[in-house]
Structure 1
Amino acid sequence: MDLPGRTLTPRRRAAPRDTSTAVMWHDLNVIALGMGSWIGPPIGAAYLIGFFDTTDPAYLVMAGLALVMGLVSIVQRRRAVADARVVLYTAGAAVFLGGAITPPMVRGGLWAAIAVLAMVGALLLDATGRRRFIVFMGLLLVAQLAWPVLGRASLSDTIASLVVSGVCFFLGVLAVTLTKQALEDSERIRLDIFRRVPIGLFRVSINGEIIDANPAMCHMVGWKAESLVGTRMADLHAVSDDWRLFAGSLLGDRTPQRFAHRMRTSDGSIIWARGYAQAVHDESGGVSYLEGSIEDVTQRREIEELSRINAERFRAVFELAPIAIWEEDFTEVASRLAELRSSGVTDLRAHLAANPGETQQLLALVRYVDVNPAGVALISAHSTSEALTKVVPESPSPDLLSSFVEQFMAVWNDREHLTREVSGTTVDGRPLDLVLSWASGRSEDGSMDLSHIVVAIADVSAIRAAERELAALISSKDELVASVSHELRTPITTILGMAFELRDHADEFGLDETRQFISYIADQSRELSNIVDDLLVAARSDDTLAVHPEAVDLHDEVVEMLASNPSDTQPEIVIGGPVLAWADPLRLRQIVRNLLTNARRYGGPNVTIEAGHESRGIFLRVRDDGAGVPTADREKVFEPYTRVGGDAGLPGSIGLGLPVSRRLARLMGGDLTYRYENGSVFELTLPEPARRAAA
């Protein structure tokens, strides 16, 4: 079967090099066994024919060297599996060294056994050593048979030597057979594990061809083993260079390396594979092949990618959200609540109410992990760290503590979400009206994920302020209705009373009384008209409220206004000569009338009207010697429907005179202000006619 888009030609399976020695032995081990295998037979043969004396230093040095190299070979082994080469050689070297103290009759047989064992070790080291083994065995037999002829040993010693040699040779062959069986069993176990392990395993030659692959690897790529072996590993990759570059990095490194590549299966689909691979070296240090493990992580990668996308989306929402968001950790809170539950607490709310210190302890266990820029701005913090450390004041308000109690109750009752209004403060102490939304997700086991609590906080201070203002306006509306009713009722009652008297008893009154009644009716009608004028001005917007300014004399306008609005107490007029201003005559008289009405109602008994010129323009002041307006209320008097002082239980003025007057003044290019100078001073400023004409 070929991969889509390319042709795969299965090659004959390449036989791996015999690397058992490279796998099992260090270079020093190989040298030790090699030297020992060739040192033992010559020295043993030379001793048997009498060349060495048992006390000869050269013999002792060579025997000691053989023993040391045998021990080194054990220490330098790479695998924990016992090897007959080490066992045979080390045993032979030990016996060889011990020959110096053995009886002469046995000595010859022991040396023969040593030679046999040494040559068996040589045979196991190199398969081509069989010929050398036969040659050495022949030499030993000739030497032993020649003893009687040369007179160097008795016939009984020779027979004993041959018997011992035969026994040792048999033991050596038996050891080799057992070792071979153990190795075969070990290889069988390895192959069984290789086939049954659920993770893909593979071997790849240095030229990139697959030498072997277990069933898990074959199943992963959708190929049969016989088709996969001989295929180039790079051809299984969606991008061939991925494997080539990775394999190149392995050739110069002896440590396993991790890889994650896209691979193409037999049906053309792309999967993500992840695993480890390493280079296997032979006794000369060269790379024999590459081996490794591999598994299909496509589904895991999809989940990881989805998690990454979700995390990025959350982070984007978290950072860019216009409302403040805190990420908090309630893990330690949950642990403490579990302790309380195990101690017998059943009603957490009652327990916290009875133990305020417990609430503070739970509050200290909340961990503030992160906050978005909107949260930093909400509490006027200078940095994220400051927003995390100062989100809760050192001395939280009862309302704030109550909101945390509700959060603890949500954890106690396994509730994922709660919404609550709470009062808070900024870092600099400015009060805030907030709506808090507390939410927890669920873990795979269905439990609440208390390590990632999301708390969204919306600032509703403006809304609450508007609601309070609306409530105040509604209250003012009620007061306005009562005030308007009172203000209108007085002149209307007078007008109606006088009119009914004239209608019903006109013939009973004289001419003077009739004129007086008519004068009362006219005065009250004028008062009623003034109230209606103020209401109309207050009801209109600036765009629809028209003024028609012209050059007017303030002195004349004040005198005319006083004449048309007679009163028992007339103000003192302090205006030296004509004072020309740019104003609407009708609106100017309305302003002055309102200022005088305000002074009569709330000021002292002595009222003065002043007018004149200043550098900033024309002014008209109405003074009285009353107590004045409290400092905190000096701007409030210019707000519609606002009355300062007086009995709140009784209806008073409408509260429109001063607001309407300031509005009219500003529409004419001037202003109306208040100050206290040994009494109340309301000052009207207006532009001069010359300046307005030039403008």
Structure 2
Amino acid sequence: MTDRGDSQPTREDRHRRAFLSAALPGIWLDARGRIVEVNDAAAELLDVKEDFISGRPAVSIVDPEDRHDLVNFFIEANASGEGSILRTVRVLAGDGPRSVKVGIAYVAADEDTGFFMQLHDLTDLKVTEAALDESEQSYRSFFEDHAVAMYRSRPDGEIVEANFAFASMAGYPHPKYLLSLNATELFIRPQDRDAQKSELERTGTLRGRDFELRREDGSAIWVRDFAKEISRGDGTVIYEGALFEVTERYLAEAQLRNRALQQASISALGQLALQSQDAHAVSLSAVRMTQEVLRLDSAALVRGEPLKSFARWDAPDLTATILDELDAGWLMSKVPGDHAAVTVTGPEGGFVTVLPVPDVNGQTGLLVGISRDDPNLSDDDVHFLQAVTTVIAATLERSESRHRLEALVQSKDEFIASISHEVRTPLTVVMGIAHELDSRWNEVEPQERAELLELIVGQTSEMSDLIEDLLVAARADIGKLPIHVEPLDARTVISEVVESVRTTGELSISVSEHSPVVYADPVRLRQIMRNLITNAVRYGGDEIRITVSHDDHRVWIDVADNGEGVPPESREAIFEAYERAHRSAGRPGSVGLGLTVSRRLARLMDGDLRYRFDEGSVFTLELAAAPALMFWNGSG
């Protein structure tokens, strides 16, 4: 461009001033592509002074890698006399490389043919784009490498992204396996996924909701989910969240809740046991509570010999229970000896949990639980079961004690009636005979008088025996019954007692010929034998057999009869005070002390008295033998 030197500004002058003061950076080039003039905006962009670059080729301010297209453009434009080019290049500014968009146009004029070059600074845009790229890369690195499990999913359940921490938490070797799943497949309960989606759609955020997820191996974990809903520019929605495993915390909280439930249940059961006298109702509540608290399919209390179901509770939806098929012998073989619970596979499948109930009145008891799946009992669960069985045992014991007390009261009442009868009857006979003899002594023949006196003696003897039993029982209760043992001929004592017992002609009593020597108190041995023989005469058949056997240390005296015997359920009870196995209305009742007194006396003499049934009742009196004097006649 030339300065024409006119005093008045020409159109070219005005154009030049506009060019120099323009806000957009511009450079005039000559036809060879050399810099002729640079406006202030271009000088500022390039951070150079005009005289520093004037006369230099325009491509010299461009990065060598970006010059090729510009050089070709200058050649072609000069050849054709027209053309323009628009390129993004890096220019070598004074403060360092800058990214600019360059527009160059061929300008044909009479005197000043050349090129006009306009620059648009892209440096800030490039920096922003680079920052965005770096930020995206940084976030992706943060997402993929973070120790917290992170995910992105769509509302339909498609998992878009998952990091390695999430894959590890879910038990997968790589996140790509998660991307092949739908999020719903990870939830143990699919409705939890619906709840997650519903809350995100409603509030846009999810703050610490707990869900149970299924790992690759099928095991379950609890996670706490923090998520937000993100709406993208293209209209799509993404759920982005982080998961924290809280399995241990959740299990600890669940354990505390379960422990509180168990304690409340035991407390309620204890209150019921104290308030109710119905042992079956309490036991039924106990087994129902066991089934519900431990989430079993069925539970039962079985007891007795053989084992029978005493109380049972099935889950409402249970159509068949393994309990119906269980064998008592199989159950007993599984019972631990330390009052601990044991869970085993049932004979027909499923799982059976067995816990012994503390022995009640000699009866075996078992608390049995049935479940299709392994209950995996914790220590708290076992303690709960032990507490349940303790309450059951206490309830049954209290019920048994109440029944024993009621029976004792009844026996006491019967005892009063019996003793009144047994004393009054002979006393009435004695009084009647005495009055008869007193009023008609001279009229009564000597033979008849003797028979009446013998009858008086017999009746008073029976009363004496009854009173003796009462005195022995009372003294034994307070520990003041004296015993003086000495060697005795057993057969001699037996024979004396047999002869003193009044019998009818239809009754036969046989005594074995053995005559061993025993250590015993003669008075107490006679009392025992009298009670046993009298008992056999009163309640046995028409044949009584008394046999004696021995070894070097012990002597056994059996008193057997061919009667009906004692019912099985009463064979031990007959040795308790005021108990009688025979309560026939056709026979006068006895006091019920004879066998009690006889067993106590036997044990005080280092012996015992037992009952068994062998085609009739057999009472066996065991005493200590006197080896040095085994036979009274000296034979040995």
TM superposition score normalised by structure 1: 0.43
Structure 1 or 2: more strand by fraction = 2
TM superposition score normalised by structure 2: 0.46
Question: Bigger relative contact order, structure 1 or 2, given CA contacts below 8 A and separation 6+?
Answer: 1
Structure 1 or 2: more helix by fraction = 1
